[in-house]
Amino acid sequence: MVIDPRKMQSLAARMAGDEVPGRSPWADARRRFRRNKAAMTGLAVLALVALFALSGNLFARWSHEELDFSVMGQVATAGQPSLANGHYFGTDDLGRDLFARTVQGTRISLLVGIVGAGIAVVAGTLFGAIAGYSGGRTDQVMMRTVDILMSIPYMFVLILLLVMFGRSMTMLFLGIGLISWLDMARIVRGQTLSLKNREFIEAARVIGVPAWRIIGRHIVPNLLGVVAVYATLLVPLMILTESFISFLGLGVQEPLTSWGALIAEGAGTMGYGTLWQLAFPLFFFVVTMFGFFFVGDGLRDALDPKDR
């Protein structure tokens, strides 16, 4: 479950090299992407999952925290998925509606995934662009820092962070986001170095455009393709990380939940005849993972069409 950095580099090189007027890589890419069946399917799946997260509650007959006392205590028999009592996905061990909880969990997991990936991408891009643009000693120091940070077992540090600050969404976002910005920083730095000496940047520098502006206006936009692909591929990794954290019991606070928490609960009780508690959350989890993979891969292939 790791993004292949070589492909990202190749993509970055292409995106940076595409500064030829009149030829947008995006128009070609859109066409190629549409022809990629797996990627289009992935996109459709993601759209459906997002729709489920946003509007699922309209159909839910229970809230995600209500206890159904008529089901409680006999979940294996009375808590099965049923249209009649409104528990479309059945109930959890306490008699809470699994449909509403899956909607809730989907929201949290997607949020953690997207925000976490966002933080990683923004941090990585800025760090890499600044290092690459500054060059010299600053670059040296910044990249050595990245080298050092690369060797830190992040999951351990994340556990420590959650232990220290207590479990909160903010900490989860930050902690998860902090895991994967390093690769991004390296790729972006490499491309910034090659962009830096291009004429249009030189020109901007000569007429006195400040550095932060050059980075923001000229360098980052040229890396958008990488950023987009990287972010798409990062989201499922963030979701996986969150599920592991939830498994350890360090995830979000009840009555909020996430896919990881729901799956961990369902996996615990799967021997007791309540398999739906595992099946529904796992289904959404797996399907979304695929969605992001296919879209990410498709996007990359579309933007960087090597001979394949």
Applying CB under 8 A, which residues contact another protein? Answer: 1-2, 4-7, 65-67, 69, 72-73, 75-76, 93-96, 144, 147-148, 150-153, 155-157, 159-161, 163-164, 166-167, 236, 240, 243-244, 247-249, 253-255, 260, 263-264, 267-272, 278, 282, 285-286, 289-290, 293, 306-308
CB 74, min distance to another protein, A? 8
State the DSSP H helix or E strand holding residue 111, giving kind and residue range, or none if neither: helix 98-134
- CA-to-CA distance for 41 and 244, rounded, in angstroms? 27
2 or 27: CB nearest another protein: 2
16 or 162: CB nearest another protein: 162
CB 248, min distance to another protein, A? 6
58 or 69: CB nearest another protein: 69
Cross-strand pairs, 91: 97
96 or 218: CB nearest another protein: 96
CA nearest neighbour of 46 among 258, 305, 263, 236: 236
Joined together, the tokens standing for residue 203 give 């020109």
204 or 270: CB nearest another protein: 270
Per-residue CA distances from 246 to 69, 162, 207, 272, 293 (Å): 27, 11, 53, 22, 22
CB 259, min distance to another protein, A? 9
- CA-to-CA distance for 196 and 168, rounded, in angstroms? 40
Cross-strand pairs, 97: 91
71 or 223: CB nearest another protein: 71
43 or 215: CB nearest another protein: 43
- CA-to-CA distance for 108 and 24, rounded, in angstroms? 36
Give the number of other Cβ atoms within 10 Å of residue 124's Cβ. Answer: 27
CB 59, min distance to another protein, A? 22
CB 6, min distance to another protein, A? 5
Determine contact, residues 81/274, Cβ cutoff 8 Å: no
Q: Give the torsion through C-alpha atoms of 185, 188, 191, 193, to 10 deg.
A: -50
- CA-to-CA distance for 143 and 228, rounded, in angstroms? 23
CB 65, min distance to another protein, A? 7
147 or 202: CB nearest another protein: 147
CB 241, min distance to another protein, A? 10
CB 268, min distance to another protein, A? 5
- CA-to-CA distance for 50 and 53, rounded, in angstroms? 5
Q: Give the torsion through C-alpha atoms of 117, 122, 127, 129, to 10 deg.
A: 120
